[in-house]
Amino acid sequence: MVVRRRKATGMAQDLPYQDDAENRKSGGNRMTVSAKQYSGNPLQWLRSWLSQERTGNVRQPVADYAGLALELSACRNEQELMPLLASLQQRLRQIFFDCSEADSALLLPLSSSEQDGNLQLLSNSGLSPALQQTLLSQAQQAGRRISAGQPAATLRLANGSAQGAALLLPLNCAGHSGWLLLNFRGLHPTSERVSQLTSALRQALTQGLGIYLRHRQAVQQAVRDERAAQAAELHDSLAQVLGYLRMRTARLQSLCHSELCVNGQPVQEYADDLATQTLLAYRQVRELISTSRLRLREETLDHAIAAAIAEMEQHSAIVFELDNRCPQLQLSQPQLLQLSYIVRESLTNIVRHSYASHARIRLSQRHNQLRLRIEDNGRGIHPDEARADSFGLKIMHERAQRIGARLAIAPRTQGGTCVELTLADSK
């Protein structure tokens, strides 16, 4: 088998690359295919082939490594990445065709686990688990010593099976150190030659994996940001109410055990307060849930407002008018989220409480300052009539504060109510 491969390689060297492609399609019987297509004198070719140096004779594939880089960069997760890395074996066989046992190759980029000193085995050529462990261990130590500037490092295999050698070639993918590990168990080229022959492949790996890793980092950062935003919302809303409830329930508990409880009056006050605050907590949880749903649906503020209007129109005879004077408005995700909430809450209040026939939502922008004005021609707002268990306006103010906006809710001079929000640093 070894001899046949060597012969075939020598012949293939003299042939154009497309013969190799056809050979691969035909199942790898390179000698048969090449001999069929070779049109010169066979004796002359044999003499030429015999005169060539046989040890470590390698050939450079004419492969489109840009395609590999693109495929790697398009991967969304490790499940998509693994088959691509596994397919590297085929490319390595093309490069080191003359090295009988050069089909053992591992790719070992260090990802986030680098800090822990662990290497990740991203592709596996079917090596035995023991040899894998040995190579990993060796690479772990050698990887610390070699830098991207060095061509390669040769690993010594402790199990004594190394008639060839294992080479560690450095990669630098978006700040992540990594190595391409090649294991030769037979004849092999020098480390400089291996480094030279794999330079195009390593460059493609560096580019493709670099983009993949940067994308993965961006996704992870987005998830972290989202969690942080949710935690901040919980902290600002529900956590505060629960903390208050905890104190009040403790006080209520002690009152129930004291003599003050005899006439029941203080207990009644605490119970009422607890009921109100529990309702507030319940309302805040509902808002958080609905806000999370809002985030998924609308991408721009005018779409969010239009969706809210469409929803309200189904349940009332009020004429809603959207006057958007800044159609190119750009908002950050938190700004969009909070403004969408405030609009939705305002429109809900108009439908529920205003007795209005018209409502207008106006968006205008001047000197980088966004102004959102929601007004109706209803009976107006009366602070004295505010119910103790109504928290809509309080939550609207909290939402505005969270994005650094100023919110004013006041009666209109012509009748009705006006909610005006000013956001200083809209993009």
Per CB under 8 A, which region of 14-22, 38-46, 68-76, 318-326 contacts other proteins?
A: 318-326
Q: What is the dihedral of CA 386, 390, 391, 393, to 10 degrees?
A: -40
Using CB under 8 A as the binding rule, whether residue 362 contacts other proteins is answered as yes
* Residue 190 binds other proteins, judged by CB under 8 A: no
Q: Provide φ and ψ at 331, rounded to 5°.
A: -130, 150
327 binds other proteins (CB under 8 A): yes
Asked if residue 321 binds other proteins (CB under 8 A), the reply is yes
Q: Does 317 bind other proteins (CB under 8 A)?
A: yes
Q: Which of residues 24-43 bind other proteins (CB under 8 A)?
A: none
Least separation in angstroms between residue 348's CB and other proteins is 16
Q: Is 231 in the site for other proteins (CB under 8 A)?
A: no
| Residue 413 touches other proteins, criterion: CB under 8 A | no
**Which tokens is 135 given?**
């190579």
Q: Output the smallest distance, CB 313 to other proteins, in A.
A: 6
- For residue 136, which of 94, 170, 106 has the smallest C-alpha distance? 106
Does 357 bind other proteins (CB under 8 A)? Our answer is: yes
Select the span of 139-147, 280-288, 316-324, 403-411 touching other proteins (CB under 8 A).
Answer: 316-324
**Contact status: 235 vs other proteins (CB under 8 A):** no
Contacts of 92 (CB under 8 A, 6+ apart): 102, 103, 105, 182, 201
Q: Of residues 315, 382, 394, 406, which one binds other proteins by CB under 8 A? A: 315
Shortest reach from residue 364's CB to other proteins, in Å: 7
CA distance 146 to 138: 12
Q: Could you say whether residue 324 binds other proteins (CB under 8 A)?
A: yes
DSSP label of 205: H
| CA gap 307, 309 in Å, rounded | 5
The verdict on 314 binding other proteins (CB under 8 A) reads yes
Q: Which stretch binds other proteins (CB under 8 A): 133-141, 176-184, 270-278, 314-322?
A: 314-322
Q: Pick between residue 95 and residue 318 the one whose CB is nearest to other proteins.
A: 318
* Among 339, 230, 353, residue whose Cα is nearest residue 284: 230
By C-beta, is 386 or 408 nearer to other proteins? 408
Contact with other proteins (CB under 8 A): which of 313, 390, 392, 422?
313
The answer to whether residue 352 forms part of the interface with other proteins (CB under 8 A) is no
Per CB under 8 A, 3 contacts other proteins: no
Identify which of residues 126 and 327 has a Cβ nearer to other proteins in the complex: 327
Nearest-angstrom CA–CA distance, 240 and 238? 5
Q: Which token pair is 217?
A: 């980092």
- Residue 409 φ/ψ, nearest 5 degrees: -120, 120
Cβ(376)–Cβ(350) below 8 Å: yes
Long-range CB contacts for residues 276-281, cutoff 8 Å, separation at least 24: 276/388, 276/389, 277/241, 277/244, 277/245, 277/248, 278/245, 279/389, 279/391, 280/241, 280/391, 281/238, 281/241, 281/242, 281/245
Q: Rounded to the nearest whole angstrom, what is the least distance from the CB of residue 317 to other proteins in the complex?
A: 4
**CA–CA dist 66, 75 (Å, integer):** 15
Binding site for other proteins (CB under 8 A): 313-321, 323-327, 357, 362, 364
